Amino acid sequence: MEFEGAEDFGGVPDEFQRLWTPHRLVYIQEGTQPQDCPFCAGPGMPDEKALIVHRGETAFALLNLYPYNSGHILICPYRHIATYDQATPEEVAEIGSLTQQAMTTLKLVSGAHGFNIGMNQGAVAGAGIAAHLHQHVVPRWNNDSNFLPIIAKTKALPRLLGEVRDELAKHWPK
Protein backbone atom coordinates (compact mmCIF):
# COMPACT_ATOMS: atom_id res chain seq x y z
CA MET A 1 0.00 0.00 0.00
CA GLU A 2 1.34 3.41 -0.91
CA PHE A 3 0.55 6.48 1.20
CA GLU A 4 -0.10 9.76 -0.55
CA GLY A 5 -0.75 12.18 2.30
CA ALA A 6 -1.96 12.74 5.84
CA GLU A 7 -5.53 11.80 4.90
CA ASP A 8 -4.28 8.22 4.39
CA PHE A 9 -3.44 7.87 8.10
CA GLY A 10 -5.69 7.34 11.11
CA GLY A 11 -7.09 10.21 13.12
CA VAL A 12 -10.05 12.48 13.22
CA PRO A 13 -9.64 15.99 11.79
CA ASP A 14 -10.26 18.78 14.29
CA GLU A 15 -10.10 22.58 14.41
CA PHE A 16 -6.73 22.69 16.19
CA GLN A 17 -3.62 23.96 14.45
CA ARG A 18 -0.29 22.37 15.33
CA LEU A 19 2.77 24.52 15.99
CA TRP A 20 5.81 22.27 16.36
CA THR A 21 8.15 23.41 19.15
CA PRO A 22 10.79 20.68 19.63
CA HIS A 23 12.95 22.92 21.85
CA ARG A 24 10.35 22.59 24.64
CA LEU A 25 10.74 18.81 24.87
CA VAL A 26 13.68 19.10 27.27
CA TYR A 27 11.49 21.09 29.69
CA ILE A 28 8.76 18.42 29.52
CA GLN A 29 11.16 15.50 29.89
CA GLU A 30 13.42 16.94 32.57
CA GLY A 31 11.15 19.52 34.16
CA THR A 32 12.06 21.37 37.30
CA GLN A 33 10.99 20.96 40.87
CA PRO A 34 8.91 23.86 42.20
CA GLN A 35 11.66 24.83 44.64
CA ASP A 36 14.35 24.85 41.93
CA CYS A 37 15.37 28.18 40.46
CA PRO A 38 16.31 27.81 36.79
CA PHE A 39 18.37 31.02 36.95
CA CYS A 40 20.45 29.60 39.81
CA ALA A 41 20.77 26.18 38.12
CA GLY A 42 21.72 27.56 34.69
CA PRO A 43 25.27 28.74 35.44
CA GLY A 44 26.16 25.24 36.70
CA MET A 45 25.30 23.71 33.32
CA PRO A 46 27.03 23.92 29.94
CA ASP A 47 26.11 27.13 28.10
CA GLU A 48 24.38 25.25 25.28
CA LYS A 49 22.10 23.32 27.64
CA ALA A 50 21.26 26.36 29.81
CA LEU A 51 20.88 28.60 26.72
CA ILE A 52 23.48 30.97 28.19
CA VAL A 53 24.69 33.47 25.61
CA HIS A 54 27.26 35.30 27.75
CA ARG A 55 28.70 35.08 31.29
CA GLY A 56 29.80 38.24 33.06
CA GLU A 57 31.29 38.84 36.50
CA THR A 58 28.07 39.40 38.48
CA ALA A 59 25.38 38.69 35.86
CA PHE A 60 24.77 36.60 32.76
CA ALA A 61 22.60 36.60 29.63
CA LEU A 62 20.53 33.65 28.46
CA LEU A 63 17.68 32.96 26.07
CA ASN A 64 14.15 32.80 27.42
CA LEU A 65 12.90 29.20 27.23
CA TYR A 66 9.45 30.58 26.35
CA PRO A 67 10.34 33.52 24.10
CA TYR A 68 8.00 36.22 22.96
CA ASN A 69 10.18 36.68 19.85
CA SER A 70 13.27 34.93 18.50
CA GLY A 71 16.27 36.24 20.39
CA HIS A 72 14.31 37.07 23.60
CA ILE A 73 17.16 37.44 26.10
CA LEU A 74 17.04 37.50 29.90
CA ILE A 75 19.73 39.27 31.93
CA CYS A 76 20.12 37.77 35.44
CA PRO A 77 22.44 38.36 38.37
CA TYR A 78 24.13 35.21 39.62
CA ARG A 79 22.91 35.98 43.15
CA HIS A 80 19.42 34.77 43.99
CA ILE A 81 17.66 38.07 44.69
CA ALA A 82 14.05 38.91 43.93
CA THR A 83 13.97 42.63 43.20
CA TYR A 84 16.09 45.34 41.63
CA ASP A 85 16.45 47.26 44.89
CA GLN A 86 18.32 44.26 46.36
CA ALA A 87 21.00 44.38 43.63
CA THR A 88 24.43 45.75 44.43
CA PRO A 89 25.77 48.73 42.47
CA GLU A 90 28.06 46.30 40.61
CA GLU A 91 25.12 44.07 39.63
CA VAL A 92 23.05 47.06 38.50
CA ALA A 93 25.95 48.29 36.35
CA GLU A 94 26.53 44.90 34.77
CA ILE A 95 22.82 44.26 34.15
CA GLY A 96 22.78 47.60 32.30
CA SER A 97 25.94 46.81 30.37
CA LEU A 98 24.73 43.34 29.37
CA THR A 99 21.42 44.87 28.25
CA GLN A 100 23.32 47.24 25.95
CA GLN A 101 25.46 44.36 24.66
CA ALA A 102 22.32 42.28 24.02
CA MET A 103 20.81 45.11 22.00
CA THR A 104 23.99 45.56 19.96
CA THR A 105 24.25 41.83 19.30
CA LEU A 106 20.58 41.45 18.34
CA LYS A 107 20.86 44.37 15.91
CA LEU A 108 23.93 42.77 14.33
CA VAL A 109 22.65 39.18 14.20
CA SER A 110 18.97 39.64 13.46
CA GLY A 111 18.58 43.25 12.34
CA ALA A 112 16.24 44.16 15.22
CA HIS A 113 14.53 47.54 14.66
CA GLY A 114 13.58 48.11 18.31
CA PHE A 115 13.27 46.47 21.72
CA ASN A 116 10.94 45.92 24.62
CA ILE A 117 13.06 46.03 27.78
CA GLY A 118 11.73 45.55 31.27
CA MET A 119 11.50 43.78 34.59
CA ASN A 120 8.39 42.42 36.26
CA GLN A 121 9.00 42.67 40.00
CA GLY A 122 6.95 40.13 41.96
CA ALA A 123 4.27 37.64 40.93
CA VAL A 124 1.56 40.30 41.18
CA ALA A 125 3.45 42.31 38.53
CA GLY A 126 3.60 39.38 36.14
CA ALA A 127 6.99 37.84 36.94
CA GLY A 128 6.94 34.18 35.93
CA ILE A 129 9.92 33.50 38.17
CA ALA A 130 9.45 36.13 40.85
CA ALA A 131 12.12 34.82 43.22
CA HIS A 132 15.07 35.62 40.91
CA LEU A 133 15.58 39.05 39.36
CA HIS A 134 15.74 39.07 35.56
CA GLN A 135 15.42 41.69 32.86
CA HIS A 136 13.79 40.95 29.52
CA VAL A 137 15.33 42.19 26.26
CA VAL A 138 12.82 41.41 23.50
CA PRO A 139 13.85 42.28 19.93
CA ARG A 140 11.19 43.77 17.68
CA TRP A 141 10.99 44.28 13.91
CA ASN A 142 8.80 46.40 11.70
CA ASN A 143 5.76 44.32 10.79
CA ASP A 144 6.61 41.51 13.26
CA SER A 145 3.05 41.40 14.60
CA ASN A 146 0.49 39.20 12.95
CA PHE A 147 -2.86 37.65 13.78
CA LEU A 148 -1.53 34.52 15.56
CA PRO A 149 -0.94 36.10 19.00
CA ILE A 150 -4.27 37.89 18.93
CA ILE A 151 -6.57 35.29 17.41
CA ALA A 152 -4.84 31.99 18.16
CA LYS A 153 -2.85 32.89 21.31
CA THR A 154 0.20 31.52 19.48
CA LYS A 155 3.62 32.98 18.66
CA ALA A 156 5.37 31.69 15.57
CA LEU A 157 9.14 31.58 16.09
CA PRO A 158 11.24 31.17 12.95
CA ARG A 159 14.38 29.69 14.56
CA LEU A 160 15.15 27.02 17.16
CA LEU A 161 16.55 28.21 20.49
CA GLY A 162 19.87 26.37 20.06
CA GLU A 163 20.49 28.04 16.70
CA VAL A 164 19.71 31.48 18.13
CA ARG A 165 21.93 30.87 21.19
CA ASP A 166 24.87 29.80 19.04
CA GLU A 167 24.56 32.82 16.74
CA LEU A 168 24.24 35.34 19.59
CA ALA A 169 27.11 33.81 21.59
CA LYS A 170 29.33 33.88 18.49
CA HIS A 171 28.70 37.60 17.93
CA TRP A 172 28.53 38.82 21.56
CA PRO A 173 30.98 41.73 22.13
CA LYS A 174 34.23 40.60 23.69
pLDDT for position 69: 86
DSSP string, 60-73: EEEE-SS-SSTT-E
pLDDT for position 27: 54
CATH topology (fold) of 38-171 = HIT family, subunit A (3.30.428)
pLDDT for position 78: 97
> What is the pTM for the complete model shown?
0.74
The phi-psi region of residue 123 (left if phi > 0; otherwise alpha if psi is between -120 and 50; otherwise beta) is alpha
Question: From the first residue on, what is the mean pLDDT of each consecutive set of 10 residues in the chain (174 residues)?
Answer: 57 63 62 70 95 98 90 96 97 98 96 94 88 94 66 68 91 90
Helix (H, G, I), strand (E, B) or coil at 167: helix
Measured between its terminal Cα atoms, the distance across the chain in Å is 58
Q: Domain limits of the chain?
A: 38-171
Residue 128 CA to residue 125 CA, distance in Å, equals 9
Angle of helix 161-171 versus helix 89-110 axis, rounded to 10: 110
> Is the CB of residue 152 less than 8 Å from the CB of residue 62?
no
Residue 54 CA to residue 169 CA, distance in Å, equals 6
Which residues are designated catalytic? Answer: 134
